[in-house]
Amino acid sequence: MPERNNMTSINDKRKEENMEREPENIPTNHEILRDFMLHMQLANRSENTLETYSRLLNRFLYHTSIPIHEMTSDYVWEWLKEHGRDKKETTVATWISILSSFFTFCDNEGYIEGIPMKSRWRPRLPKPLPRYIGKEELAIIKIQSEAGNLRNQVLFEFLSSSGCRITEALMLDKNDINVEERTARVKGKGSKLRTVHFSHRCAILLEEHLKRLPEMSDGIFLNQHKRKLTRQGAHKILREMGETAQLVGAFGPHRLRHTFATSLLAKGAELSFISEELGHSQLSTTRVYARLLDEKLVTMYRKYMG
């Protein structure tokens, strides 16, 4: 308890110091944004999260001359209404979450007094079920991948048999792979390391792929410039596979991840094992797949039993 009181008094002192500053010494909006992004980096947020936050906050601050400490809830709400008019509710909900995090940081650091956000702004969204791919569709895409280059085959097979996030796969180096044991050491969210497993077919393809990689490069999935493939590049490869296979709906790495989890659950794997393989920090995140399987069973029953 004493430590908490000390932290509270430190934050209060910071606020007093910031409020007492001369106007010319008050940090600019972009200086505060830079502090916030540094805070996010130190909190080990993923590159994808940092990019999303930076893009939205730069957009929010770009066209205004109003200092952050003078922004009101009315101003923030009007901005959200104007820029979110044609956006999906999920997008606006993400924006509200990002702005809340930013203003909470500003309040904690003493840049503002009070957070100009209202909890009632958050739209109530139904929790969407993960979209997975059926066995037949997966087989068609696998055949399509075989028509491409070896790197793309390995990427598809590794993602579909390991359940990895795309960023985890793209960050892999040669020394992270154990072909014999069919395991890979990946760095997940919060820079947490874990071991994932991949299929026998993936091991065969990987072994051949590793032989062809340039000695000077550590990465596994490289572009034509011998640098690690970007998320955008990987998404493009998979999207084109899906289009060639005439797959219904968008096809990407996360859909393969959902397919991996759903398949394991259908085969009787325990939720705790699936959670560990996926790198979920909480079992509740994995339980959504059980709900998905329940709905699938109901659909099958109605189809065959009426």
Active-site positions read: 165, 189, 254, 257, 280, 289
Within 8 A by CB and 6+ apart from 99, the residues are 56, 57, 60, 76, 80, 117
Judged by DSSP in three states, 36 sits in helix
Q: Up-side HSE of residue 252: CA atoms within 13 Å toward CB?
A: 13
Query: Can you list the alpha helix ranges (DSSP code H) found in 43-134?
Result: 47-62, 73-83, 89-108
Supply the angle between the helices 47-62 and 89-108 in degrees, to the nearest 10. Answer: 80
Question: Which H or E element spans position 194?
Answer: strand 193-197
Q: Are the CB atoms for 110 and 276 separated by under 8 Å?
A: no
**CB distance 144 to 241 below 8 Å:** yes
Say how far apart CA 306 and CA 296 lie, in whole Å. 15
- Burial of residue 208 (CB within 10 Å: 0-12, 13-18, 19+) is exposed
What strand order describes the sheet that includes 193-197? 177-178, 183-187, 193-197
- Cβ-in-10-Å burial (0-12, 13-18, 19+) of 51 comes to exposed
Residue 75 one-letter amino acid: Y
Q: What's the token pair of residue 157? A: 């097979």
Instruction: Count the neighbouring beta carbons within 10 Å of the beta carbon of residue 69.
Output: 16
Residue 67's CB is within 10 A of a number of other CB atoms, namely 15
Instruction: Name the amino acid, one letter, at 59.
Output: R
